Amino acid sequence: MEKIQQRQSSGGAVRVAALLSLMVLFACKPEAPVGPEDKKIYTPVSTLRGEAPFPVGTAVQSGRIDQSSYANLINKEFSSITAEYEMKQDVIHMGPGSYEWGSSDAIVDFGVKNSIRVHGHALLWHSSAPAWFDTYSGDNAAFEQMMKTYIQTVVTRYKGKVASWDVVNEAFEDGSGAYRNTIYYQKMGPDYIAKCFQWAHEADPDALLFYNDYGAEYDNSKRKAIVEMIEDLKARGIPIHGFGFQMHINYNWPSLSELTKALDALKATGLKIHFSELDVRMNPANDLTSFTEARALAQEERYREIVTLYKTLPAEQQFGITLWGIKDNESWLLNFWGNPEWPLLFDSDFRYKIAHRGMVEGL
């Protein structure tokens, strides 16, 4: 009996040892999935534009939308597009009275042809002020007239094709809420913002006009300055219709409570709200060299959370959510921060990341 027990127990010991070694093997399994199943991607059963009660858009570039891989995905998933850089002043405004329309026309024509809303970005932004401004010899009055002519030339050209415009982008300093001392501020004075909105409205009274910025999500002083500017423009009857939160956020920052506080503050203005450049940094601490399943799950939850928050807006204030790009490997964040990054909904092979599922489930 004893022997049998010993055999049994020794056989049992062997089984326990085998089980333990299997447990150790799987407990130490590498982050990356073992075998063909990759839980960082999935097969969608619905589309963003099909599920969303508001436009969901993406940033685009003219050199990509003429490729079927991009065009097909954009038409399938998105109902709005924003030019990532080709409708900015440094691309269009070649000199006084001189314009280059090739790439901006290509993007607008793509939207019109595919019945996709086109959001114009951005009429004035200090970072896309043309280099020739540095050698411009006209006085301030001449510069202001040139800006008026530029804005009204662009807006008139796309009247009836571009539904909305970021009229001014990023006019306030970080951390203080002071006006940035941009060339526009220097030459046109602090009321340049009101002038730009007025000029754009005169050119296309039907276009929705936005002020766009980053930092309102978490910078109290900048957000306060933005709200005060909006309320001032409204009080003066200056046509402003919306605010764009750029929403360049991290998977773990700002907190949902911080974002809720920020959204409440801008919601209170009554303006339409655009999450205008959404991407979710997954490697802000540069602690990853490859995108892990755990981090992919965190991203899925973050996108779900952001969409759920956006849907708390009244329907009439929901202008939409725009992703700042399609594929991870094309994100501006890679060059800007220099870290490996996976901020968007599609991987470098156009595969659907579970972040897409999170966004769809939040809609």
Residues of this chain that bind ligand G3I (CB under 6 A): 84-85, 88, 127-128, 169, 246, 277, 332
55 versus 343: smaller Cβ distance to ligand G3I:
343
330 is catalytic: no
Among residues 77, 217, 277, 341, the one annotated as catalytic is 277
87 versus 363: smaller Cβ distance to ligand G3I:
87
Is residue 54 helix, strand or coil?
coil
Nearest distance in Å: CB 140, ligand G3I? 26
Q: Are 331 and 279 in contact (CB under 8 A)?
A: yes
d(CA 194, CA 151): 13
Q: Longest Cα pair distance anywhere in the chain, in angstroms? A: 108
277 is catalytic: yes
131 versus 285: smaller Cβ distance to ligand G3I:
131
- Exposure b/e, 176-203, CB count within 10 A at least 16 = b: ebebeebbbbebbeeebbbbbbbbbbeb
Contacts 24+ apart (CB under 8 A), 231-237: 231/269, 233/193, 233/194, 233/197, 234/269, 236/194
Among residues 77, 84, 86, 170, the one annotated as catalytic is 170
Q: What is the phi/psi pair of residue 120, to 5°?
A: -80, 130
For 76, residues 6+ apart whose C-beta sits below 8 A from its C-beta are 47, 49
Nearest distance in Å: CB 125, ligand G3I? 7
144 versus 279: smaller Cβ distance to ligand G3I:
279
85 versus 337: smaller Cβ distance to ligand G3I:
85
- H-helix segments, the chain: 2-27, 48-51, 62-65, 68-77, 89-92, 102-113, 140-157, 183-188, 192-203, 220-235, 256-267, 293-310, 332-337, 354-362
Nearest distance in Å: CB 118, ligand G3I? 15
Show which residues are catalytic.
170, 277
